[in-house]
Structure 1
Amino acid sequence: MTGAETEDDVPLGERKTVTDFCYLLDKSKQLFNGLRDLPQYGHKQWQSYFGRTFDVYTKLWKFQQQHRQVLDTRYGLKRWQIGEVASKIGQLYYHYYLRTSETSYLNEAFSFYSAIRQRSYYYQVNKEDRPELVVKKLRYYARYIVVCLLLNKMDLVKVLVKELSEEIEDYTQRFNTEDQLEWNLVLQEVAAFIEADPVVVLNDNNSAFVTSNRLQEGSVPALEQGMVVGQLVLADALIVGNCNNQVLIR
């Protein structure tokens, strides 16, 4: 409860709303943290665990939407807290994409990350004297950029990189942190990806043309007779390179 208000001053229904929200919030954090303990590859147990985590976050997201006024008044819900929930859902979709290679999950992650930026959920973070909150914002930007790179939304990537660069500069100046070099390295790596794809090359006639290292829809091998969509599975991948700090485009 907020302010000088005692628990007895709050209607029973509103108290229950706050209690239920805190339970869902704690449960979601517990399940999300448990994802770190799962093996990164193989083992079917990850699917059921992801499913439980998705269910709790879905309930939490809908709950805060349905009871926003009560949570604002009685719990003191901040917009950055809503953004953090949305960011976690985006991360879940992204990691589900990594497990399954289904781009529909990547698009879902993009939708949540886009909503965070459009609704300015992290806008007020810069006004609070809490560097850990600003780091949450910077990490959100980094994850959003990765998703945009995978979806080949290069124009948006350039906008996000500019915003992230400004956020990093403000963060390091305000808090005199020791992780400035790490965040600058993030910017350098993104810049390397932007520079690597697409690239200008010369053909046999010494004419310049733009090429991309990305697999295009029209260049995917045709399915063999009798196969249906969904049966084509990547079994192995061999990555070969001989350059220092080489950028690899999947």
Structure 2
Amino acid sequence: MADGEPSGAYREFKALVEAADRKFARARDLPLYGGGDHHSRKAFKAYTRLWRLQQDRRRDLVAAGLRRWEIGEVASRIGQLYYARYLRTAEPRSLVGAYVFYEAIYSRGYFAAPANANASAAAGGGAKHQGLLIRYKELRFIARFLVVAMLMRRAEAVDHLVARLRSLVQESKSAYPKTNFKEWKQVLQELERFLKADGAYKGSRSLRYDNLFDSYASNLASIARFHSKRVLKLKEAVLTSYHRNEVKFTELTLDTFRMLQSLEWEPTGSYQIAVKELTENGTMSDQSGPSGLIDIHLSTEISDGNLPSNPQRAIIYHPTVSHLIAVLATICEELSQDSILLIYISASGLADQNAYQKYASSSTSRSRPASAFLIDKPNSHASSDDHVWLGPRGNGGPNNLYPEDLIPFTRYPLFLVIDSENSHAFKAGHT
């Protein structure tokens, strides 16, 4: 081996990291609906090449100074791309892929502090700053892993990760006393509240539709007669919720978390996760090395060819009325004639009372600015029970979503679910 080869391999690795990070940033900034999937594919290709390089040139890279957290960062990005693909396409394989990479990162401790972490934290300068950056990476990684584990209903893994996140926040406060970890204390509070509200995740049946338990043979004849006239398939779904003091974890609210699963078929196959670290001669090595081979082995197909594919979902976190309507318009542009669009909106019908009274007292002399598609309807905005409210505390009328705002989208096959005390306003014939 030439003397300059290790440093050359490391320079190649760093150059590929920079190129992959740029592609990842472009893919991350795009919404998970409409076009843009080609950016995700480019990022996948870049990180796959990077991952293979660190496998093939592992010894050279380690000799040149490759650190464990750098490999963890690459694997974490691949996991994030898998999860984003799952949100975009609803493919079970993508969710499994995210879990495989996250589980490997966690089990190998890629972001874990080394044995001399306390000495590094006590030291000044760059070592302490570097340790703090890696600690933040680990905290964010565990939060992402928790979301995937909850979606896969891995109760034991969720309990373990919650305990680890709690202890890690406490360790961080002690190791870096001058750093404010208040936001992570809030994350823990949100997580505990979320798991308490969704306590049924332990040992209960999945919310996903199971062809074995949820099919009714008596309905098949009626379905066949309906399909003989026109075959419609649920292809797209828009899920959103907006409540004050909403139960949520990260940007996944409890309502959208449950609906997300309810719109999926329960995988009929089983999968086996194999995470192996091999040396060049094929024997198992210990876990002290910075790299490893991560394989996904599916013992049977996760998806069943006899079942329909899961509908694609757009999960919109706390949108404004105009943003929600823009998303619906974008999705409808690409909706095929045989497709059904499902819209799920969970929101309160009661805005801040002071703001609402102020708005209502002056609204009789002006048009309502909230609606993107105004329809003449005398005093339609004067009632407090004819809309749902999408907005922050203390803001009223402009954040009201009215039934007539959704009328343009009824030109497409539409399935509307309004989870609100004012849902009656959206019934056919009510407006």
TM-score range, shorter chain: 0.7 to 0.9
Provide the aligned C-alpha RMSD in A. 3.0
**Residue from 44, 51, 57 that aligns with 1:67:** 57
Report if the CA contact (8 A) 2:76-2:101 is conserved: yes
- Match of residue 160 from structure 2: 159
Counterpart Cα distance in 1 of 2:26 and 2:245:
35
Change (3 A) 1:235 1:121: closer
Report if the CA contact (8 A) 2:10-2:66 is conserved: no
1:124-203 mapped onto 2 (5 Å cutoff)? 124=113, 127=117, 128=120, 129=128, 130-199=131-200
Q: Secondary structure at the match of 2:235?
A: coil
AA in 2 matched with 1:102: E
Counterpart Cα distance in 2 of 1:179 and 1:40:
32
Query: Whose helix proportion is higher, 1 or 2?
Result: 1
**Residue from 70, 74, 77 that aligns with 2:66:** 77
Change (3 A) 1:17 1:157: same
Give unpaired runs (5+ residues) of structure 1.
1-8, 201-209
Counterpart Cα distance in 1 of 2:111 and 2:209:
35
Report if the CA contact (8 A) 1:80-1:124 is conserved: no
Report if the CA contact (8 A) 1:97-1:106 is conserved: yes
Counterpart Cα distance in 1 of 2:214 and 2:206:
12
Report if the CA contact (8 A) 1:125-1:133 is conserved: no
- Match of residue 205 from structure 1: none
| TM-score normalised by structure 1 residue count | 0.78
Counterpart Cα distance in 2 of 1:182 and 1:219:
42
1:234 CA displacement: 3.7
- Match of residue 13 from structure 2: 21
Counterpart Cα distance in 1 of 2:67 and 2:27:
26
1:194 CA displacement: 1.6
- Is 1:110 paired with 2:103? no
- Match of residue 52 from structure 1: 42
1:58 CA displacement: 0.4
Report if the CA contact (8 A) 1:86-1:112 is conserved: yes
Counterpart Cα distance in 1 of 2:193 and 2:95:
22
Counterpart Cα distance in 1 of 2:168 and 2:205:
30
Counterpart Cα distance in 2 of 1:38 and 1:196:
31
- Match of residue 206 from structure 1: none
1:198 CA displacement: 3.8
1:17 CA displacement: 2.2
Report if the CA contact (8 A) 2:10-2:61 is conserved: yes
Q: Secondary structure at the match of 1:124?
A: coil
**Residue from 90, 93, 118 that aligns with 1:101:** 90
**Residue from 214, 234, 238 that aligns with 2:207:** 214
Q: Secondary structure at the match of 2:40?
A: helix
Change (3 A) 1:158 1:19: same
Q: Secondary structure at the match of 2:50?
A: helix
- Residues 4-40 of structure 1: CA deviation (Å, up to 9, x unaligned): xxxxx95354444233212211111111122243234
AA in 1 matched with 2:26: G
Change (3 A) 1:97 1:173: same
Report if the CA contact (8 A) 1:28-1:56 is conserved: yes
**Residue from 25, 29, 37 that aligns with 1:33:** 25
Change (3 A) 1:59 1:107: same
Change (3 A) 1:242 1:39: closer
Percent sequence identity is: 32
Change (3 A) 1:102 1:124: same
Counterpart Cα distance in 1 of 2:96 and 2:6:
36
AA in 2 matched with 1:72: V
Report if the CA contact (8 A) 1:80-1:122 is conserved: yes
AA in 1 matched with 2:72: G
Counterpart Cα distance in 1 of 2:75 and 2:84:
14
Q: Secondary structure at the match of 2:53?
A: helix
1:232 CA displacement: 4.1
| TM-score normalised by structure 2 residue count | 0.47
Counterpart Cα distance in 1 of 2:97 and 2:178:
33
1:212 CA displacement: 6.8
Bigger-Rg structure (1/2): 2
- Match of residue 203 from structure 1: none
Give unpaired runs (5+ residues) of structure 2.
121-127, 248-253, 259-431
Q: Which segment is superposed worse, 214-223 or 48-57?
A: 214-223
Which of structures 1 and 2 has the larger relative contact order (alpha carbons within 8 angstroms, sep 6+)? 2
Report if the CA contact (8 A) 1:31-1:53 is conserved: yes
Counterpart Cα distance in 2 of 1:147 and 1:79:
23
- Is 1:88 paired with 2:77? yes
**Residue from 233, 236, 245 that aligns with 2:235:** 233
Q: Secondary structure at the match of 2:237?
A: coil
